[in-house]
Chain A
Amino acid sequence: MRSKHSVSEKLLSWPDFVLLVFFVAFLALALAGSLSPTDGTSTVGAAFMPPSAEHPLGTDGLGRDVLARLMHGGAHLIAVAAVSTAVAAAVGVALGFAVSAKGRFADVLSYLLDLLLVIPSILVVMVLVFGLGSGVGTMIVVTTAVSAPYIARYTRSLVRPVAASPYVTAARLSGDSAAKTAVREVLPNLAVPLATTVGMRFINSVYLVATAAFLGFDPLGTGSDWGTMIQTGVTGISLNPWAALAPTIAIACITISGNLLLDRIGKRSNL
């Protein structure tokens, strides 16, 4: 609070900028890694060999090159998290406007969303993987079920004060429909804070898909993402810790840098 005045009105201070560079660089590395020629699906040596000149991170339980698998294990994970977050954001914002309206229906819907927020997200993962089978489609449903209530509740908290403001009243009085006013007058005002929350949910989606993989549900159907690498690498931790450690560090880099960055931006926009 006290330091707020001295930080000036710049959008990003230098620590934010450093975090942003790291976050974008990690994401770019994860995506670019999948372009590398060897995809790490073939056996190149004995199981859990320690790092050597030929295999800088050693081999995994099936004798595959860990570095090659690390390069290829992130892109799919991040792409699925991004797509499913986009779906969750659309559903969440729409629900958020719906529950911002007055009336009994909005109250009941609002309570149901709060209820969904209480269910541990890992339970949502397990129940839906059981019911729908694992796969990208299931992950999109899971992420929507977990993230949309957050986004909806956040949207509601943003919409209510804006909805009471004079220019919205003016738009409504001039004869615009509620839906039109929502899209043209209210939504643009929410763009920055909503983007921060959606960013947070994206990190959470990476986290959730990786966790599903770690628990052995193979959510992407490839069996070669970072979460699955950790799950299969843990057994060889005393022989070649890198088989599990490398993907662990990769996930931590993305989630930690992203979280710290978005937290700072969120505080800045004073919400």
Chain B
Amino acid sequence: MSPNANRTGGHRALRILSRILLFAISLIFTCLLVFLALEALPGDAATQRLGLQATPERVAELTQQYGLDKPVLYRFVLWCAHALQGDFGTVLASGLPVADAMVGPLARTGVIFAISLVLVIVVGTAGGIFAGLHGGKAADKIVSTLALAVVGTPEFVVGFFLILVFATQLGWFPAVSLLPVGSGSMFDKPIIMVLPIVAISLIGACTLVRPVRAVVERENQTLHVESARLSGLPERRVIVKNLLPGIIAPVAQSAASVVPYLIGGTVIIESLFSFPGLGTLLVNAVLNREPDLLMACSAVVIAVSLAAFWIADGLGRGRSREIEA
């Protein structure tokens, strides 16, 4: 590429290494913030665990057993060390390991989230391209305004309207995502996934429409697209051959940056449908006061959000270097 290609290669390795390091530091720092916030409430885990059976002796005993008499930073390092070995503590109500309680919900959320993400990218990009190609015309205004209206509506409101239409009125899908009694696997009753996936996808796609639309509108006015169009090529060919290649990278970046929002939306939508996933588990961890469970679920959400941000940021940096080159 350039005369100093060797140096660039060395730089790239260093750059990737430093970005991985930055990701790790960000993750640890954010988890520490959560750890501190969970500790903020007066009344510690020992008192909470014992409940009405709390006697000063028992509390002191458990305090020592949990290491609560140690400084908070020490306990955080301990938590990290245990977490790296797959030990996230115990669920107070059942006494089961947190990891066991999380496996099922995490897998179920992973499935609906992955399906939703594909739909978000397909529908959001298509909507954005459609609006961008009609930049400023009525079709653009209708799509853009509808998308903004959905984005500006709380997730549970969007989900509620879906329930009202497709569950209560039409009766096509269940309003509550109950697992089948026998096997307990959602794949034996895939219908329970439909409305949550539709809701999450709708919210995500509408979020993606706007940035994609902006990219398409800009790309559509570039010289090489204009000249391809002026040279008499059919419109469809211009779009596929000249327009699309230029928007892939920025669209990928936008899609990655939508992921953290989508995770938040998933938590709320799951809660609305009582879908047995990570979001419902998180909400229940707060309502039932399960510190270990909440810490572990938060760490997962943070890790995925940061990873998405990291990817989006990396894609953005790659592009700006390309433009500079």
Q: How many residues of A are in contact with the other chain, CB < 8 A? A: 43
Contact B40 A237 (CB under 8 A): no
Determine the distance from Cα of A238 to Cα of B160 in the docked complex, in whole angstroms: 13
The reply to whether B264 and A3 contact each other, CB–CB distance below 8 Å, is: no
B286 within 8 A of A: yes
Q: In angstroms, how far is the closest chain A Cβ from the Cβ of B78?
A: 19
Listed stretches A42-50, A59-67, A244-252; interface member: A244-252
Taking a contact as CB atoms under 8 Å apart, the answer to whether B268 and A237 are in contact is no
A131 to B33 Cα, complex, angstroms: 11
Q: Report the tally of A-B residue pairs with Cβ distances under 8 A.
A: 128
Q: A80 in the interface, Cβ–Cβ < 8 Å?
A: no
A216 within 8 A of B: yes
Indicate if the CB atoms of B157 and A259 lie closer than 8 Å. Answer: no
Cβ of B287 within 8 Å of any chain A Cβ, yes or no, is: yes
Which positions in A face B, CB cutoff 8 Å?
1-3, 112, 115, 118-123, 126-133, 203, 207, 210-211, 214-217, 230, 234, 237-238, 241, 244-245, 248, 251-252, 255-256, 258-260, 263
Considering the chains assembled together, what is the distance between the CA atoms of A253 and B43 in angstroms? 41
What is the size, in residues, of chain B's interface with A at 8 Å between Cβ atoms?
Answer: 50
What are 6 A-to-B residue pairs whose CB atoms are below 8 Å? Answer: A119-B30, A130-B38, A203-B152, A215-B268, A252-B154, A259-B151
Q: A126-B285, A127-B37, A211-B155 are in contact. List 13 more A-B contacts (CB 8 A).
A: A123-B282, A127-B294, A127-B298, A130-B291, A131-B39, A131-B41, A132-B40, A214-B271, A215-B283, A230-B157, A234-B160, A234-B272, A263-B148
Interface residues in B24-59 by Cβ distance below 8 A to A read: 26, 29-30, 34, 37-41
Main secondary structure on chain A at its contact with chain B? helix
Q: Is B99 an interface residue (CB 8 A)?
A: no
Residues of A within 8 A of B39 (CB): 131
The smallest C-beta distance from B175 to any residue of chain A, in angstroms, reads 7
A131 with B136: in contact, given A241-B168, A260-B148, A260-B149 (CB under 8 Å)? no
- Residues of chain A within 8 A (CB-CB) of B160 are 230, 234, 244-245, 248
Please tell me which one of the listed residues A118, A131, A252 contacts residue B306 in the complex, with CB atoms under 8 A apart: A118
Kindly state whether residue B305 has any CB partner on chain A within 8 Å.
Answer: yes
Q: How far is the CA of A3 from the CA of B268 in the complex (A)?
A: 39
B145 touches A129 (CB 8 A): no
CB–CB B286/A130 < 8 A: yes
A234 to B308, CA, bound (A): 33
A230 — which chain B residues lie within 8 A by C-beta? 156-157, 160
The answer to the question of B261 belonging to the interface, with a C-beta cut-off of 8 Å to chain A, is yes
Across the interface, which residues of A come within 8 angstroms of B302, CB to CB? Answer: 119, 123
Chain B residues numbered 269-303 whose CB sits less than 8 Å from any CB in chain A: 271-272, 282-283, 285-287, 289, 291, 294, 298, 301-302
Within the complex, the shortest CB–CB distance from B231 to chain A, in Å, comes to 24
Chain B residues near A216 (CB, 8 Å)? 283, 287
> B152 near A260 (CB under 8 angstroms)?
yes
